[in-house]
Structures are given as structure tokens and as C-alpha cells.
Chains A and B, each alone.
Chain A
Amino acid sequence: MSTGLSTGLIELQNLSKRFGAARRGEGGVVALDGLSLSVPEGCLFGLLGPNGAGKTTTLRILCTLLAPDAGSVHIAGIDALRDPRGVRRLLGYVAQEVAIDKILSGRELLELQGDLYHLERQQRDQRITELIALLGMADWIDRRCGSYSGGMRRRLDLAAGLLHSPKVLVLDEPTVGLDIESRSAIWQVLRQLASSGTTVLLSSHYLEEVDALADQLAIIEGGRVIASGSPTELKAALGGDRVTLRVREFSSESEAERVRSLLEACSGVRQVVVNRAQGFSLNLVIEHDGVIEQLRRQLAEADLPVFALAQSRPSLDDVYLQATGRTLMDAELAVAGSRDAKAERKQSMR
């Protein structure tokens, strides 16, 4: 497999991982089911998927915190399973649950981190100064971590991940639960990093985040990649534009159904859906712009008004819907009740 033909800086092949199976092979929870991923150098790569899809497990395997049951992990040609230390030196990892030492100040935590990566003292201190400026931490870096807000903690953790100027930065849900200001500060840093050549791999269940940031993305569900490419490619591959149509501000169901059968008869129109949640508006896909004119004409002939008509390119949400058959939000809701937080905490404990 690793014959030098692989192109990505990060190459994950056929990873599988099962939890709680007591090493007997059967039963337990399947976290990864033959996941493969290739991340080119200098790319800002997004892993998109609902909670429980296997994102965190993938990242933990990549960061040598977990060993996969099967499959291979290579970073810059180094086999993570054979030479984990070699991989660790290339990686900065920003975990989902920020583990900091409440008693230390932010600066002390960074100094500790620098020593764990064997930076020379002068280099370490200089780097810390740079990162304090970059992430705007000067006002509070000498206060104890216990007093930090969520956004401050996340920035500190990002600084810790960047301290040794890693070739690859791995972030697990970097902006979950953050205020807008911290979120955009982190986005900005990630963009800068990617443009200066660092490979950034982040997981997220925020569509907008991946759409706004990622050069490339993979949609993960059920422990495998179900779609991958650049956001633009993926959206373009869907084809057609999305149209939302309201004949009145609030239509009745029967009127909406009438409009639907009318629209379905038009050529160049696909996937007409009545959206009950939005006052019986209609969602449909059109194949080209000309269809709109035709629609308006048809509606006028049938004596139906047009209250609102919005046209948009396909979004990542549409990509997700197409790939999985449900929206990301539905997927989130489906797993919300079925996860065992306690068991997951245990998994991550050594």
C-alpha cells in the first residue's frame, strides 16, 4: 500500500475500530468501518459528519492515542503504528475537550508543552511570545487557566498545538460552543496557517464552518467516508439550483399540493417537496435558469400569485442530504439519544 504512490501527506487506509468488544472481535460499537482518507499537503481539510459518525475516533487514531483494529496510518510517509513518536513530532493536536491544568497560568502551560516537544528554551519563549500576539492572549495569559472562558481555553489550546510549528495541525471540533468573536479569530488563524503551508485537518458538525473554511472535505457517516471533494465540486456535482417558492405568505395544504402537481408537470423541474414547517412553501430543484420563466408563466395561467421565489446554488446541506438521504440536523437528532456519554468518557481514559 505504501509504495510511494500515495499522494496525500496524510494517508488513512481502511481503518476500522470497534469499542467495547472485549477483544473478541464481535459485538460492541463499530466506530470506524473501513474509513480511508487522503489529505494533500497544505490543504485545509474538513471532516464533516454528525456526532457519533467516527470523526473523533479517526483523529485520535491519527494522533496515536488509539490503535485501529485494522488499517494503516501514514503521515509524510511515516507509519504511525510503527513509529508513533515520529508522527507525534509532526502533529499538533487540539482535542475536543480542552484538558488544561487549572492551577497553571496559560504561559506556564505553554512552557510545559514546549518542554514536552523538546524545544530549546530561547526558541520556546520566542514562539510563546509570537503565539500570544497572534491569538490575542496578552491580557490574560499570566492568569491561571481555571479562570478562563471557553473561548480563551480554546485559543490557549490552539496555541499549545501550534507551539512546535507542526507540519500538520489536527483539530477536533475547534469552535463548538464558542462565541462568534472567538470562532472568527480561530477561523482566521486556521486560514493563515493553511495559506502558509501547514496542513490543517479539522472535524466539525457545522456545515457553515466546513463550507467557509475547507479546501476539501469528506463527509463521514457510520464510520466511513461517503463523499469527498472540494465544497464547490461537491455542490456542482449535485447539479441544478435550489428554489423555494411561496404562492402566498401562508398557503393551505391543499393549495400547496395543487401547486406541487402543477410544478411536477413542468419539464426541468425535479424533487418538488412541500415544506410543512415553513407555511407550506415548496422546495424544488431546477435544471437551468430558463425554467424559472416557464414556472412563472404556468402559475399565472393557473391564476396563482407568487409571494416569494428564492433561487440558490446547492449548499453543503444539500450535498449532505444527497449523500446520506437525510439532513445533517436529522442525523444529529437521531444519534442524540443513542449515545452513552459515560462509556465514551471511559474510552478516552487511559
Chain B
Amino acid sequence: MTSANPTLNTASAAGSREGSAFAEISQETLALTRRLFVQLARRPSTLVAGVLQPLIWLILFGALFAKAPEGLLPGGLSYGRFLGAGVIVFTAFSGALNAGLPVMFDREFGFLNRLLVAPLRSRSSIVLASVLYITTLSLLQSAAIMGTAAVLGYGWPGAGGLVLVLITLLLLVFAVTALSLGLAFALPGHIELIAVIFVANLPLLFASTALAPLSFMPSWLGWLAALNPLTFAIEPIRAAYGGELSLHAVVLNAPYGQLTSGTCLGVLAALATGLFLAIRPLLDRKLS
């Protein structure tokens, strides 16, 4: 700052000393996350569409089967109460499925190169920011749906139930986010990514226990639904809505055996971990 031309001062060059790793990683991660939220605030259509679509499912499907004979569903649930858990999970799922889109656009428009030229302490910050952003967004959308379901009289879990719902949704969101981020780096462009998202979305919803119990399904579909990760998230939440908080409670009679809440959560956790490990080599390659 002693030079005659303070605005071009280079003496203090490369300004930053080596700070602590934690401080630097949080600084870069927070800055990247903030960017995603500023984008969301100025272009809230993602948020709105992500709530509207499940809301329509909730209202239309709820109405469609409002007069279903009592006792049709296991445990004597009304259809609305049955549907709630499915739509909540679907909301979180489709929200997280979009995780790769901002990354894909950054790749395509070259903004990612701007990040890669910067001396990031860890390039995991880029991934971490996406995970933070999409998790918050999905949970916000799910909360909106849960609120609406409660207003429609489809129930509300107690405090303990909320914790179980939150954990389940988090595990599902992590797994799906990992998948979507992997696709965002593996596919050539956003057209392909959107196509995959579009194709994956609804079939996974229909081939799960979101809209109908296993007992309604032909056996091949029952098998599919009992292997579908969405089902593993739906059933513990449905149980929590019914006041069943024990991890040892059987929540699904799958064709291959009985599943407890604990098993479901374990599978989701394994899936999330497995997917993050699986995409790691890809991310390392693309970000190095």
C-alpha cells in the first residue's frame, strides 16, 4: 500500500496466507452455498415447482380415493393418511434429483473453470455446497408438504416422529444427491441430465408404496416396490405418522421377508454411503 498507485498494489501479493484448513474450507463452502441460495431467491421457480407438483399429487390422489371403502388399506388408514408419507418422500426425492442441475450448468457455461482456477483448499467444497443447498431445499419443500398434509387432515407426527421423519429424509436426500451429482459429471450436457431425471422420476414413484400398498400390486410390481429405495424411506415415515417410533417395528411385509424401520434406515444409509463412494473417483477425475 506504499506504492504511488495503491489501487494496483501487488506488494501484498497473493494476499492470503495459509489459513487454517477448517476456516478456509468453510469460507469457500459458505460462499458457494450462498451463491446457490441467492440464485434460488431470485429465481424461485425451482422451489415453487418442487412444492406444487407434490401438492397436486396430494390433493388429486387424496380426492381420487377419498371414498375408498373403509378397511381397504392395511391398519384401517384413510387414503389421505396413507398417501401423506408417500408424497412427502416423493417431494424430497424429486428435489434431490435436481441436485446435479446447477453443477451441470456450471460445467457447460464454464463457471466451474472459474472455481477450479481458484486455490480452493479442497475441491470437495464444490460438492459440499451442492449437498448443503439441495438438502435444505428438499427439506423446506418436504416441510411445506407436511404442513399442507396436516391442514388437509392427513395427520402430523409427534416430536419423536418428526426426528424419525427428518433422519429418513436426510438419508434419502443424501443418496439421491450423490446419484444426481454423479450424473451431472458423467453425462455430456443438461439435456441428457434432464432426460434422466424426467425418466426416473415418475416410474420410481409408481413402483413404490407411495400411492398403494404392496398388497394391491401384482407380484412383479410388488417385488420392484419392495426393492425401490423410495419404499425404504416411505415405510418408516408412514409408521412414524402412525405413532410407531420403534426401530424394531416391522413396517413392510416384503416378498422376501419382513422389514423393520431400522433395516430400512440402514439400507438408506448404506445406499447414501455407497453412492458417495462410487462417485468419488469420477469427481476426483473431473475436479483435478
Contacts and interface: CB of A to CB of B under 8 A. Distances in A.
A112 B35 contact: yes
A101 B35 contact: yes
B13 to A, nearest CB: 5
Contacts of B5: 192, 196
Contacts of B38: 103-104, 108
A165 B107 contact: no
B24 interface: yes
Interface secondary structure of B, over-half rule: helix
B111 to A, nearest CB: 5
Interface string A110-153: 01110111110001000000110110000000001000000000
Contacts of A65: 113, 116-117
A117 B113 contact: no
Interface string A172-212: 00000000000000000100110011100000000000000
Contacts of A95: 110, 113-114
Interface in B15-37: 15-16, 19, 24, 27-28, 30-32, 34-35
A97 B112 CA distance: 12
A64 interface: yes
A8 interface: no
Contacts of B24: 118
Contacts of B107: 349-350
A63 B114 CA distance: 10
Nearest to A132: B7
B13 A166 contact: yes
Interface in A51-67: 63-65
Contacts, number: 124
B192 to A, nearest CB: 13
B115 A116 contact: yes
Given A103-B43, A198-B8, A350-B287, A116 B31 contact: yes
Contact of B10 (A64, A85, A197, A348): A197
B47 to A, nearest CB: 14
B120 interface: yes
B67 interface: no
Contacts of A113: 114, 118
B7 A99 contact: no
A116 B120 contact: yes
A134 B111 contact: no
Which of A86, A112, A113: most chain B CB closer than 10 A?
A: A112
A113 B27 CA distance: 11
A12 interface: no
B7 A118 contact: no
Which of B5, B14, B34, B43: most chain A CB closer than 10 A?
A: B14
B8 A117 contact: no
Contact of A165 (B12, B19, B109): B12
Given A95-B110, A196-B10, A118 B30 contact: no
Interface in B187-243: 188
A85 B119 contact: yes
Contacts of B42: 103, 144
Contacts of A101: 35, 39, 111
Contacts of B35: 101, 104, 108, 112
Interface in A67-109: 85-86, 88-91, 93, 95, 97, 99-101, 103-104, 108
6 contacts: A101-B111, A116-B118, A118-B27, A118-B121, A166-B10, A197-B10
